Amino acid sequence: MMIGRLLRIVWLLFLLLLIVSCRAPSPDDELSGRITLWHSWPEEDALVLEEALAQFEEIHPGVSIVPVTLPEDQILDEYHKSGNDGLGPALLIGDDGWIGELVNAGLIRPLIPDDNTTSLFDSRNRALTQNQGQIFGVPLSLAPNALYYNKSVVTEPPETLDELLQDAEAGNQVAFVPRFEEAYWGIQAFGEGLFDDQGNFTLAESGFTEWLSWLNEAQLAPGVILNVDDASLLDLFTSGQVAYYVAGPEKQALIATGIDEENPFEYGVVPLPKGPQGPAGPLLPAETILLYAFTSSEQSRIADSLAAFLDNQQQSIRFMRELNRVPANPTVRVDQRIYPIVNGFARQASTAVVIPNEIASDLLVSTGDRAYASVLSGVLSPEEAVCEFGLEVAAFQDYRAADISLPQGCEIPAESLTIE
Amino acid sequence: MDNDRTDQAESVVEFISNQIDILLEILSRPVVQRQILAVLLILLITWLLPEGVRRWRQKRISTGEEPKSKALSRKQRWLAALYYLLTPLLALGLLNIAIRLFAQQGYPNGLLADLNNLIWIWLIYRILLTVLYARFGEAVRPYRIRIVTPIFLFLLVLQIFAVLPGSSTFPDAIIGFGSISFTFGNLVTALIVLYIFIVAAWIAKQVMIQTLPARLNAEPGVIESVATLTRYALLSLGILLSLSFLGLNLTSLAIVAGGLSVGIGIGLQDIVANFVSGLVLLFEQSLRPGDVIELDGRISEVEKISLRATTVRTLTNEELIVPNNNFTTNQVKNFTKSERLVQVIVPLGVSYKSDPDLVRQLAIETSLLHPQVLADPPPILLFHGYGDSSLDFNLLVSTNQPELTLKIRSDLYYMLWEKLAENKIEIPFPQRDLNLGNGWEKLATDFQTS
């Protein structure tokens, strides 16, 4: 009897909620409805984001946006879980590296650029968000690694790797993490990158072998500190013990708060030093607004509009001015005199490298890390490490010999070729 | 402080408003509506079908096709068990069909999969209850209410929480009351610990009450007292552990308790005194349930000793709730402290013409006829003295029902009256011999003269 009564109550409750929620879209073009936005911004940054959201709500009085902050290390798992239930947020601010995984899971939908968003997608932003020929999401801010330097000891930062080594030998020590993501930047300085313009994996012309050789020699040079413990390198920089430190814009807050009060100094940011073949090309992570696949049509309209709004010139400048974020919007001019730090990162972003979203980036990074570690610990020569790296990437990406170009003398074994 | 409270109230209102917004946003999605409709359909079928079976059986019983009897046959018991499991089994089957259909259509079916987990929990719960009832019968009922059902309800709530968007962050959510703050996860852990101790205390008491009397040959009152004390000790430990899980420092709690004790000493003096007296009574065993006592001149039987007060029942069947302090600070006559044996004294006077030996014989024989008078120790008749008008005796009888002493004495008066009358032994009323000496002659002369 009790269960029957309970069922009746459940029925009524759900029907009531369904009736309430199944409102017909407004006849005119005015946006109306409510959406949720997930992010993992720190508290101070989130306040600025909420100001922008409030402005959007002011422009569209019928819209209600609920921002939800989730821990950085949990947000993707939570998105997967809720997304599969149909309960995901209409918008997710996350890493562009998640696009491939979320497209495969069917949890994000493509964005069809319209009048509001076309200007946001230059070739770099297209590369950042493209997957299987479609654009998924809107890049919000860029986070390439660049060269932090201590202005109290460095007056003219080095422009080339040779100058960097000379300066290090002269006493201005340099510190960076010798792993794939953090130390990718030298590959392009010694040759081509790992991917050509069409996104094909190519090692034959890349500067990977030469870069690993340079690193192997540099680690023995005086004044060069290579350590995978990034926190201790940060401490060395903020305490004034090293003059140069390679990191992304997300480290600004830690550096600002970590600088020794007894030995204060100002810091600057410039692009990483060039190599013999050209400018340094660090990886280009981008904070991206991703669109949930299973929203209602009205929610999709609001989500698209809000994504474009958050990435427009005014909001990009707001985030740059108040949060030192590097705008991904190509129409925003970053003045060196007003925003010198952001300008350093923005200049670096212009030569940074985008890894295609179709690549399994986790596997690529872990394989790359092994190559760096093998060379720097003397287990493999740079040539051997690069060949092994190429073969492993070919294996997990299921590349055939025709799809990739490996260095001379390094070939995919015949038995491992995919048979179609 | 007021601003803090206003801010907290505003943040709570904002949180609730946000959750309602999220819920409405989610419910307006076709993918969610499809899943909810599927769930409602499944619930409807799983409710209607067993209901149909039940009505069909009732009809068969009413038409006589199926025998109606209280004692179920083996087959009927199996059918009843199957009927009990029918609803979750049916829901599970239909849900899995729906999940496959959704997958085939490319629709998200995560909510249905989550519901599937809930139904599994429900099914396991019902299977467990079926087995337990089949094995132990109605004796399972208190264990089901206190242990099995709460555990399964907790698992259900846990599953439902896991479905909510962003639920993995709930354990770290901060809950604050003034200067005290703890995480939601800590609150849940503290409640679980408290629940475990409440159940453990209850089980410990049950086990002690059921097993100790047979093993220790102890009186029920003592076992009850020890079990109550154990229960309170476990509950106290549970509360302290729960508080520690909430991040409250037990050392600082001790300091606070020290400060409070001063206030308690002044404000709650009587309550604390009674509480401590209750502990003394439990430890000292000077009073136990079942004891017959004399309190303020009234004979009463102790029914229950709680930590604050003791319940006694008087001979006139009144229940008195007496603060424990009365038993530790006042003199209390306990008829049954070491044994239940009490003596009843019945005063008796017979005429000087009576044979004292015959009186003794009759009195003892008569008293032994009373059902509450014990033969061992035997009744005795003590010659008390030569009274003004009677030979005075005291009849001493023993009984192990001290609460009946008044009744026994009254009964014996009646019985002795009849017995002595049968044997022509007189119970005299007071007589006076007036002796005036020489004054008598003077009085006669004065009378004649006048």
Phi and psi at A170, nearest 5°, equal -80, -5
Whether the per-residue pLDDT at B53 is higher than 70: the answer is yes
A49 shares a domain with A91? yes
pLDDT of residue B331: 86
The answer as to whether A380 is a domain residue is yes
Angle A55-A52-B5 from CA coordinates, rounded to 5°? 90
Cβ within 8 Å, pair A17-B114: no
The pLDDT mean for chain A works out to 88
Whether the per-residue pLDDT at A22 is higher than 60: the answer is no
Q: What is the mean pLDDT of residues B374-398?
A: 91
| Range of weakest confidence among A36-50, A324-338, B58-72 | B58-72
By Cβ distance, the residue of A11, A36, A74 closest to B22 is A36
Q: How close, in Å, is residue B157 to chain A by CA atoms?
A: 16
| Range of weakest confidence among A252-266, A349-363, B51-65, B321-335 | B51-65
Cβ-Cβ contacts under 8 Å, B32 against chain A: 86-87
Which of A265, A300, A332 delimits the end of a domain? A332
Return the CATH number at A265: 3.40.190.10
Tokens standing for residue A71: 């821990």
Whether the per-residue pLDDT at B277 is higher than 80: the answer is yes
Cβ within 8 Å, pair A68-B165: yes
pLDDT of residue A15: 66
pLDDT of residue A417: 47
For A36, residues 6+ apart whose C-beta sits below 8 A from its C-beta are: A65, A66, A67, A68, A89, A90, A91, B21, B22, B25, B165
Closest Cα partner for B322 from B298, B344, B355? B298
Question: Which range marks the domain in which residue A108 is found?
Answer: 31-143+285-332
By Cβ distance, the residue of A11, A21, A74 closest to B24 is A21
The answer as to whether A202 is a domain residue is yes
- The pLDDT tens digits of the residues spanning A183-194 come to 999 999 999 888
Cβ-Cβ contacts under 8 Å, A40 against chain B: none
Whether the per-residue pLDDT at A361 is higher than 90: the answer is no
How many domains are contained in chain A? 2
Report A:326-365 residues touching B (Cβ under 8 A). none
Query: From its phi and psi, is residue B247 left (phi > 0), alpha (psi between -120 and 50) or beta?
Result: left
Q: What is the pTM assigned to this prediction? A: 0.69
| Range of weakest confidence among A61-65, A263-267, B225-229 | B225-229
Q: Is A23 on the interface with B (CB under 8 A)?
A: yes
Q: Is B241 helix (H, G, I), strand (E, B) or coil?
A: helix
Q: What is the mean pLDDT of residues B267-296?
A: 80
Q: Is A191 helix (H, G, I), strand (E, B) or coil?
A: coil
Chain A residue closest to B21 (CA)? A34
Whether the per-residue pLDDT at A420 is higher than 60: the answer is no
A247 shares a domain with A159? yes
Q: How close, in Å, is residue A109 to chain B by CA atoms?
A: 14
A173 shares a domain with A120? no
- The pLDDT tens digits of the residues spanning A314-340 come to 999 999 999 999 999 999 999 989 999
B265/B384 Cα distance (integer angstroms): 54
The answer as to whether A98 is a domain residue is yes
Chain B residue closest to A34 (CA)? B25
Q: Is A6 on the interface with B (CB under 8 A)?
A: no
Cβ within 8 Å, pair A299-B25: yes
Whether the per-residue pLDDT at B4 is higher than 50: the answer is yes
Q: B322 vs B62, which has greater pLDDT? A: B322
A203/A410 Cα distance (integer angstroms): 10
pLDDT of residue B133: 83
- The pLDDT tens digits of the residues spanning B151-191 come to 999 999 988 888 877 777 777 777 776 667 788 888 889 99
Q: Which of A87, A291, A297 to mutate to test the interface with B (most CBs of B within 10 A)?
A: A87
Cis peptide before B377 (omega within 30 of 0): yes
A385 shares a domain with A250? yes
pLDDT of residue B1: 47
Amino acid at B21: D
Whether the per-residue pLDDT at B260 is higher than 80: the answer is no
A270 shares a domain with A304? no
- Structure-derived torsion over alpha carbons of residues A382, A387, A388, A391, reported in degrees to the nearest 10: 160
Amino acid at B100: R
The answer as to whether A252 is a domain residue is yes
The pLDDT mean for chain B works out to 83
A188 shares a domain with A239? yes
Q: Is A34 on the interface with B (CB under 8 A)?
A: yes
Which of A264, A297, A332 delimits the end of a domain? A332
A157 shares a domain with A126? no
Inter-chain Cβ pairs, chain A and chain B, closer than 8 A: 102
By Cβ distance, the residue of B22, B29, B47 closest to A294 is B29
Pairing mode, if any, of strands A33-39 and A63-69? parallel
Whether the per-residue pLDDT at A25 is higher than 60: the answer is no
Q: How close, in Å, is residue A19 to chain B by CA atoms?
A: 9
pLDDT of residue B11: 63
| Chain B residues with CB within 8 Å of chain A CB | 18, 21-33, 35-36, 40, 43, 47, 51, 108, 110-111, 113-114, 163-169, 172
Report whether A207 contacts A118 (CB < 8 A).
Answer: no
A247 shares a domain with A294? no
The answer as to whether A12 is a domain residue is no
By Cβ distance, the residue of A18, A22, A85 closest to B110 is A85
By Cβ distance, the residue of B26, B114, B168 closest to A78 is B168
Q: How close, in Å, is residue B109 to chain A by CA atoms?
A: 6
The answer as to whether A383 is a domain residue is yes
Q: DSSP secondary structure string, B169-232? A: GGGG-EEEETTEEEEHHHHHHHHHHHHHHHHHHHHHHHHHHHHHHHHH---HHHHHHHHHHHHH
Cβ within 8 Å, pair B22-A86: no
The answer as to whether A340 is a domain residue is no
pLDDT of residue B415: 94
- The pLDDT tens digits of the residues spanning A89-123 come to 999 999 999 999 999 999 999 987 777 777 788 88
Of the pLDDT bands very low, low, confident and very high (cuts 50, 70, 90), residue A9 is low
Q: How close, in Å, is residue A14 to chain B by CA atoms?
A: 8
Q: DSSP secondary structure string, B136-174? A: HGGGGHHHIIIIIHHHHHHHHHHHHHHHSTTGGGGGG-E
A209 shares a domain with A170? yes
Provide the ipTM: 0.73
The answer as to whether A346 is a domain residue is no
CA B228, chain centre distance (Å): 10
Q: Which of B19, B22, B23, B25 to mutate to test the interface with A (most CBs of A within 10 A)?
A: B25
| Range of weakest confidence among A38-42, A169-173, B203-207 | B203-207
Cβ within 8 Å, pair A33-B31: no
A160 shares a domain with A49? no
A172 shares a domain with A152? yes
A226/A242 Cα distance (integer angstroms): 12
Closest Cα partner for B406 from B376, B450, B436, B372? B372
- The pLDDT tens digits of the residues spanning A275-303 come to 999 999 999 999 999 999 999 999 999 99
A290 shares a domain with A393? no
Q: How close, in Å, is residue A373 to chain B by CA atoms?
A: 35
Of the pLDDT bands very low, low, confident and very high (cuts 50, 70, 90), residue A418 is very low
